[in-house]
Amino acid sequence: MPLFTIFANNLLPVLLLAGAGFALGKVFKLDPRPLGRVIFYIFSPLLVFDLITQSRLSFGEIGAMMGFAAAVMLATLGLAFLIGKLLRLERTVLTAVLLTSLVGNNGNYGMPIISFAFGQEALAYASIYFVTSAIMVYTLGVMIASLGHLPFKDALVGLLKVPAIYAIILAMIFVRAGWTLPEPLQRTVTLASGAAIPSMLVLLGLELQRAEWTRNLRALGIPSFCRLVAGPPLALVLAALFGLPVPARQAGVTEASMPTAVMTTVLAAEYRLESSLVTAIVFTSTLLSPLTLTPLLYFLGR
């Protein structure tokens, strides 16, 4: 059965590592917040820096993929905002819905799946999508999270406290100037960036075992619908508009169809959002994702 083979080879390894984190949290009652902070302040910035500086794609290919990724994320965000307004969600709930609709699991879930399913060429494009996602997370995502409780001015000031923004700026300077890090520093960055994805998967499992159910089923369903159901057709249309080649289309559409990122739980904790709702959205969308991703991988791989 091709669908079962696709699931076993491409999705199951990722889910097993997240499951290990889930079991670890259940047995030892671990608090995921310290690991989340390590990822937020160390692993994620170094991963973003490493992906940007090590990419071998041309500036034109990078620009097209970044534009596509930003367009997909904004379209998904706009759809979630429209549905949330139609349902008249209160401000804090709408903030959580927008954040979880904007941010997909593009790194710790999407990149391993794309690597398994489509190979290194597609993975290079996936890394650009992830970098764009990181830019959106640490700018627009942080701003959305902050606006749940902070005025607009304070939200802007909060962006200056996010280390990944400086990693992005520094990486672009290195690329533009053609600089490289000294070997000891480069090995440090490579080692840390290699730890980021498995750490995020373990964190995903730790967070999922702490998920709390919510009675707000309307808010719970919006991000899952926007990411898992509406995401693939939106991405397919935009991929055609941007004229993406096949590997970029495979990577981009898959990334656009990821469940909500575990990073949203970190942001929810940092900015005191509706944490129970956010973790429930992450849990539900992740649990449902194999049902949509398996046929999508089959379709994209034909």
Structure tokens, 227? 């990411």
- Return per-residue pLDDT of the chain as tens, 302 residues: 688 888 888 888 888 988 999 999 989 988 888 888 898 899 988 988 888 888 777 778 888 999 999 999 999 999 999 999 999 898 888 989 999 999 898 887 888 899 889 988 888 898 889 888 888 887 788 888 877 566 666 666 766 777 877 887 898 899 888 899 999 999 999 999 888 878 877 887 887 777 767 677 788 899 999 999 999 999 999 999 999 999 999 999 999 999 998 778 777 777 777 778 888 898 899 999 999 999 999 999 88
- The H or E element containing residue 263 is helix 263-270
CB atoms within 10 A of CB 213: 12
The amino acid that residue 214 corresponds to is T
Question: CA separation (Å) from 213 to 173, 248, 267?
Answer: 44, 37, 19
Calpha distance 180→151 (Å, rounded): 40
User: Tokens 């590997």 appear where?
Assistant: 247
pLDDT at 199: 87
Domain boundaries, the chain: 2-300
pLDDT at 182: 94
Structure tokens, 143? 């701003």
Calpha distance 223→226 (Å, rounded): 5
Structure tokens, 265? 């739980």
The amino acid that residue 218 corresponds to is R
Residue closest to 253 by CA, chosen among 119, 104, 140: 104
Give me the half-sphere count of Cα atoms (radius 13 Å) on the Cβ side of residue 246.
7
> Does residue 282 contact residue 231 with C-beta atoms inside 8 Å?
no
CA 173, 56, 235, 17 torsion-angle sign: negative
Give me the half-sphere count of Cα atoms (radius 13 Å) on the Cβ side of residue 203.
27
Please indicate, yes or no, whether the overall pTM of this predicted structure exceeds 0.85: no
* 2-300 classified as CATH 1.20.1530: yes
